[in-house]
Amino acid sequence: MMRTRTTRLTTAAAAAALLGLAACSNGADSGDVSLSIVQSGDGQQGGALQHMADLYEEETGVQIDVVEVPNADLRTRLRNSAQAEDLPAMAFSPNIDPVWTDQMLDLTEISESAGFYPELNLEDPNDGLIKSLPSTLTAVGMFVNVDLWEEAGVEFPTTLEEEWSWDEFVDAATEVVDSTDAEFGLVMDSSAHRLRAFLHQFGSKSVWLEDGEAVTSPETATALEYFYDMHDSGFMPRSVWTAGDDPSATFKSGRVAAYYSGSWQIADFEETVTEFEWMSVPMPQQPVRATNYGQASAFVAFDGTGVEEETLDFAEWFYSAENYEIYCEMSRCLPPMEGLDIDYGDNAYAFEIYNGEIAASSGLFELQHIKHMRSNYLGTAVDSEPLQDETVRYLNDEITLDEAIENILTVTTETREG
């Protein structure tokens, strides 16, 4: 239920009724308040948000219009809206865009009441205000094809109390491939986000800036060479990282022992993977237990819409514990705060694994999250991913390992601001 803003919403609604106030560009008719929220979500997330919108309208009479935009178009959509002075009331945006940072509402009060993990409460360095809230968390994780492992008679860990190294995982998955009709031991999303988790598990902190210069540690080279060897041996399919093949479809073919992806796959797998049993498992350690996690998107609310108060009321209602629990259950998402009682059904064990690996990785995440969010607010973020780009060139034997690392550091130094 709504808390501190309830009285204000009632007052605002009464004033709107008396004045016949329309909600400007957000679609209200004859004094009825209507708020639009723009997002790019899968069917599960979109359905969950629509459900919350329906609940909110039942409780308050305020209509929430959920506007789905393809992910590739969302940034342009919001930019064009800002330039046309026609921003929606709110959005779940993949990034903070300097085109509209000066039109973001202050969400500090809601952030404090929601109780997000401290590392997620990042202030705008320009004015010290919290202007974005995490939609949900996503985290890198591993899935196995249970049928293949059982057919091969090979065991695998199922809880955080059980551990395996990357060497042990590769040996075990190789045995699965040799004993079944599996074609590959592992497939991994072609993504710097996933690769950073892999580097962390070898003891690397990936790449960071010191006095304006990008640096790394010897463990980065160790991990990248290991990654190369898994491709070179045929343990992993080259075509995913070097030719753009779909890793999810490759795993769903039923001929891959394990898939290195993340928590966002759970909702999809529940619906679409019916030909074999799958399971989330702890990721290997060499020797570090770690994942890479972050907000799925940023909740932002905009000034100048004429419905600012109503928008803040919805945001506080949405992030209240009892309502946000409903959203996480329906969307099968990880919450960005502790203390919620979320029923994930049969896959509750999987989210316990993710939460445990997140807890082991908080320091690593904080460094990356702060750098990423600061660069977005300051307008210094870039679209290139030198870690991924140079790793692909290394896998293709276009450059050596040493050259790949040198290029990663050089490009990072040139394009990032500390």
Q: Is 51 left (phi over 0), alpha (psi -120 to 50) or beta?
A: alpha
Q: Does residue 314 share a domain with residue 245?
A: no
**Distance, C-alpha 274 to centroid of its chain:** 25
- CATH number assigned to the domain comprising residue 146: 3.40.190.10
Q: Does residue 173 share a domain with residue 128?
A: no
* End position of a domain, from candidates 310, 343, 376: 343
Distances (CA, A) of 222 to 180, 209, 288, 361: 30, 20, 14, 20
- Judge whether residue 225 has pLDDT over 60: yes
Q: Does residue 118 share a domain with residue 61?
A: yes
pTM of the model: 0.88
Work out the burial of residue 76: count CB atoms within 10 Å of its CB; fewer than 13 is exposed, 13-18 middle, 19 or more buried: exposed
Tell me the C-alpha distance between 274 and 277, whole Å.
7
pLDDT digits (tens, 9 = 90+) for 379-408: 766 667 999 999 999 999 999 999 999 999
Residue 179, domain extent? 138-294+362-415
Q: Does residue 262 share a domain with residue 179?
A: yes
Residues 180 and 162: beta-carbon distance below 8 Å: no
pLDDT of residue 368: 63
Tell me the C-alpha distance between 1 and 39, whole Å.
24
Q: Does residue 368 share a domain with residue 220?
A: yes
14-38 burial by CB neighbour count: b if 16+ within 10 A, else e? Answer: eebeeeebbbebbbbeeebbbbbbb
Q: Does residue 316 share a domain with residue 204?
A: no
Q: Does residue 154 share a domain with residue 131?
A: no
Q: Does residue 225 share a domain with residue 169?
A: yes
The enclosing H or E element of 278 equals: strand 278-281
**Which carries the bigger pLDDT value, residue 16 or residue 154?**
154
* Residues whose CB is less than 8 angstroms from the CB of residue 48 and which lie 6 or more positions away in sequence, other chains included: 326, 327, 330, 331
In a domain, 197, yes or no: yes
User: How would you classify the pairing of strands 213-215 and 208-210?
Assistant: antiparallel
193-205 burial by CB neighbour count: b if 16+ within 10 A, else e? Answer: bbbbbbbbbbbbb
H helical segments located in 153-288: 166-179, 192-201, 218-232, 238-243, 247-252, 265-272
pLDDT digits (tens, 9 = 90+) for 272-285: 999 999 999 999 99
* Residues whose CB is less than 8 angstroms from the CB of residue 369 and which lie 6 or more positions away in sequence, other chains included: 119, 120, 122, 294, 295
- Here the tokens at position 248 are 């999810």
**By percentage, how much of the chain surpasses pLDDT 90?**
76
Q: Does residue 324 share a domain with residue 281?
A: no
In a domain, 353, yes or no: no
Structural domains in the chain (count)? 2
Residues 44 and 332: beta-carbon distance below 8 Å: yes
Tell me the C-alpha distance between 79 and 179, whole Å.
53
Tell me the C-alpha distance between 213 and 20, whole Å.
58
In a domain, 325, yes or no: yes
pLDDT digits (tens, 9 = 90+) for 129-153: 999 999 999 999 999 999 999 999 9
Q: Does residue 159 share a domain with residue 117?
A: no
Which letter does DSSP use for residue 285 in this model? B
Q: Does residue 288 share a domain with residue 152?
A: yes
Strand partners, 138: 294
Residues 148 and 346: beta-carbon distance below 8 Å: no
- Mean pLDDT, the chain, whole residue set: 89
pLDDT digits (tens, 9 = 90+) for 278-325: 999 999 999 999 999 988 899 999 999 999 999 999 999 999 999 999
In a domain, 83, yes or no: yes
Tell me the C-alpha distance between 180 and 138, whole Å.
32
pLDDT of residue 381: 65
Own/partner contacts of 346-352, CB < 8 Å, gap of 24 or more, are 347/266, 347/270, 347/280, 349/158, 349/159, 349/280, 350/141, 350/263, 350/266, 350/279, 350/280, 351/263, 352/160
Q: Does residue 238 share a domain with residue 209?
A: yes
